[in-house]
A and B are shown apart, each in its own frame.
Chain A
């Protein structure tokens, strides 16, 4: 027939943990109590970091800072699915990912205080510097995945970005290449439904972001981004699929940006507090707490202890960060190239 249906598609949406703390047992990933506690503790650590960073910014001790508030499940749930040898390409709002992977906390603060040395990821990590230019790191992840496969390394590459990044050409070009070459890469979009003042519907006319992957020939799945178990399950499956040669996956974590875009923004200019209140009720940490409470996991002052420990960990990191001597002028030159050119050498010496 000349008018056949050529393709139809479906987009899955995964939720495991509901707002009352109940889980769908059939979908619940196998996680020990220790692993669940680790999720919770990292989410609390991330939130504590975030609160402190915002306070430090108000006191002028940090520069402009983008809050992770409300996105903890999307970040911790996915980062916990990574192996140590995997490569991570973050955008600028993934401090929960870095904290989960064990990135030195004081360096995160140092970066946001206006000191590039905070971008130095430890030797035993494969975390790229945060990418401030929206979406432009997506092709880098694709390239690293191409290299990993060339080397026959069992490495998976993960790129993190926001809903706004899906409007960039780099997103489309990177996705296309990942599909064409069937690469071991997982794209994790934290769809927090805002890109500064532009709501999701101003970013795309598509019913979901997940379905964008289909046009590039690989799977896209939407998960409840405030459900740490759903995120973890989807990320684990995608990462293992990539590791075993199954190609790329796009995971859209549907969440919400609870705070202003950054400390330089005032979201009350463009969105109603009622919308924010709706999402406050879906708080990812509260949800996990309810689950743990139902299982009797919060006994003996566990919540308080977790928060106290997080606070002291962040206190310590702030002290470490503030004890770092300011960078010397030479610092600005020394990493420009492996060998400075003669003019740079002169400039470095003040000439």
Chain B
């Protein structure tokens, strides 16, 4: 056990998996010599060599495309896209190929790769470095979308993602990279994909969040009898855990950093409406960013859901 931050936890997970399994290779921009712009792959090129830790040219489409080829051949590539905002060039490879290789070849080929990428805002970075477009990727049947919320979940989920037989998009909340330290076991452990965790028990309402919003939600709920669910995997999301909590509380607030329209909150709300409406005592509320492009730092605080907006939504559902 050591108290470490998320960058260290991810580094630990990747390092131990590379030692355990020589099929694991890392590729991406600046992942080698520089150890990644956030240092997640620090030290690996010296340790494992440049055949396993590959500094690529700036070619997002080919990074993901190559990872697909490597995975189909039998390796376990962990590709890094430097920021989620630069993954869009690889959309074609993800949606047209990674998501469908198994289906198109009727499981003759599969694609056991992980695409890791920093996502989300709050780091005062330039344009396109603070995107939260997770919902796009949840609309790609065949790809899992995973979002850790701290060092402990980061390690366990990354190990599970690498060992998963299908493609996983692994979104690392940039704001949390060095913000939180947690006790993380030295040895291997996995956190199953598709399972949420209840991080706080409560009876009056259920607040659902993921990634960096979880940290904010935990501050917002301090004086409420709120149950908080950290989804961890967005696709497939743990509807069982969500519905069980709603059955208990009857009130739901969903918080995400992405814009509202077609954000992942809509999928959760629809599921609760379909399968849990009889348990509801209040309208389902979403606290989200507005429907605008992610602004630069001077406006970012107005963009990202604030603690006040979260508590206002909580107060609102508690009126019922």
Contact = CB atoms under 8 A, between A and B. Distances in A.
Interface residues of B, number: 37
B34 A270 contact: yes
B119 to A, nearest CB: 15
B292 A332 contact: yes
A336 B294 CA distance: 11
A115 interface: yes
Interface residues of A, number: 41
A96 interface: no
DSSP majority for the B interface?
loop
DSSP majority for the A interface?
loop
A169 interface: yes
B49 interface: no
B89 A327 contact: no
A202 B299 CA distance: 37
Contacts, number: 106
A63 B126 contact: yes
A63 B297 contact: yes
Contacts of A164: 57-58
Given A197-B55, A326-B298, A269 B86 contact: no
Interface in B57-74: 57-62
Contacts of B57: 164, 167, 195, 198, 202-204
Interface in A183-216: 195-198, 202-204
A198 B125 CA distance: 21
Contacts of A64: 124-126
A198 B82 CA distance: 13
Given A63-B297, A269-B33, A331-B299, A114 B58 contact: no
B228 to A, nearest CB: 25
A198 B29 contact: yes
Given A64-B124, A64-B125, A197 B297 contact: no
B215 to A, nearest CB: 22
Contact of A344 (B35, B86, B290): B290
B89 A136 contact: yes
In order of increasing CB-CB distance, the 5 nearest A-B pairs are: A114-B297, A167-B57, A197-B34, A347-B290, A114-B296
Interface of A: 63-64, 92, 113-116, 132-136, 164-165, 167-170, 195-198, 202-204, 264-265, 269-270, 326-327, 329, 331-333, 336, 341, 343-344, 347-348
